[in-house]
């Protein structure tokens, strides 16, 4: 959410919703549903991390039931503070996996499968070229069709430098 304010630019008023000042996770799916109802053509793109999607992702069933024009892009790093997938899969048995950080998610979680289970489109990507192709395909139909793009990124990826300091005043950048 915080980096989204600097890289997902607004060109018109009321074209982006985010979690607000406190960065509340889990509000995005409800916002996407509302956005799709208010602006049904072309629809709504919802970008979330895998942890945030986990809070309200089941609401994607509502998107599918009503055929709402929502494209969901999940930036998946296996949760907050996760081990890399090879280390996780190398843990043998339940006892070892109980030591895995509680706020981490399994690297085997394939969110795009949830979309296909609901009769929607689900795509797994793990590189920029595939993400670009999947995203272009998802938004090429107007209005959009219910889609989940599960974009696996590195579990050790860190945040880049923001494009502007928080609360920067125009002219003081």
Closest by alpha carbon to 47, among 127, 147, 161? 147
Residue-wise burial string across 78-98, b where 16 or more C-beta atoms lie within 10 A, e elsewhere: bbbebbeeeebeeeeeeeeee
Structural domain contains residue 168: no
CATH number at residue 82: 3.40.50.970
Distance of alpha carbon 109 from alpha carbon 114, whole angstroms: 10
Say yes or no to pLDDT of 159 above 60.
Answer: no
Structural domain contains residue 173: no
Structural domain contains residue 138: yes
- Contact (Cβ atoms closer than 8 angstroms) between residue 52 and residue 23: no
Number of H helices, E strands in the chain: 8, 4
Structural domain contains residue 2: no
User: In the chain, how many domains are there?
Assistant: 1
Please indicate, yes or no, whether the overall pTM of this predicted structure exceeds 0.85.
Answer: no
pLDDT band at 25 (very low <50, low <70, confident <90, very high): confident
Structural domain contains residue 136: yes
Structural domain contains residue 166: no
Structure confidence at residue 170 (pLDDT): 46
Structural domain contains residue 171: no
Pairing of strands 121-125, 44-49: unpaired
Structural domain contains residue 66: yes
Average pLDDT over residues 107-127: 92
Residues of the domain holding 120: 46-156
């Amino acid at each position: 959410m915080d980096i989204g304010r600097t890289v997902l630019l607004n060109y018109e008023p009321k074209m982006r919703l985010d979690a607000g000042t406190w960065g509340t996770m889990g509000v995005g799916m409800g916002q996407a549903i509302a956005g799709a109802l208010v602006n049904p053509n072309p629809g709504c793109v919802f970008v979330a991390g895998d942890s945030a999607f986990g809070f309200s992702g089941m609401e994607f069933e509502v998107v599918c039931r009503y055929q709402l024009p929502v494209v969901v892009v999940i930036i998946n790093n296996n949760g907050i503070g996760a081990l890399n997938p090879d280390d996780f899969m190398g843990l043998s048995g339940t006892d070892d996996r109980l030591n895995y950080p509680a706020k981490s998610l399994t690297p085997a979680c394939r969110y795009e499968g949830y979309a296909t289970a609901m009769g929607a489109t689900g795509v797994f990507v793990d590189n920029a070229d595939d993400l670009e192709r999947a995203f272009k395909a998802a938004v090429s139909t107007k209005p959009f069709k219910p889609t989940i793009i599960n974009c696996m990124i590195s579990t050790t990826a860190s945040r880049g430098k923001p494009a502007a300091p928080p609360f920067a005043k125009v002219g003081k950048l």
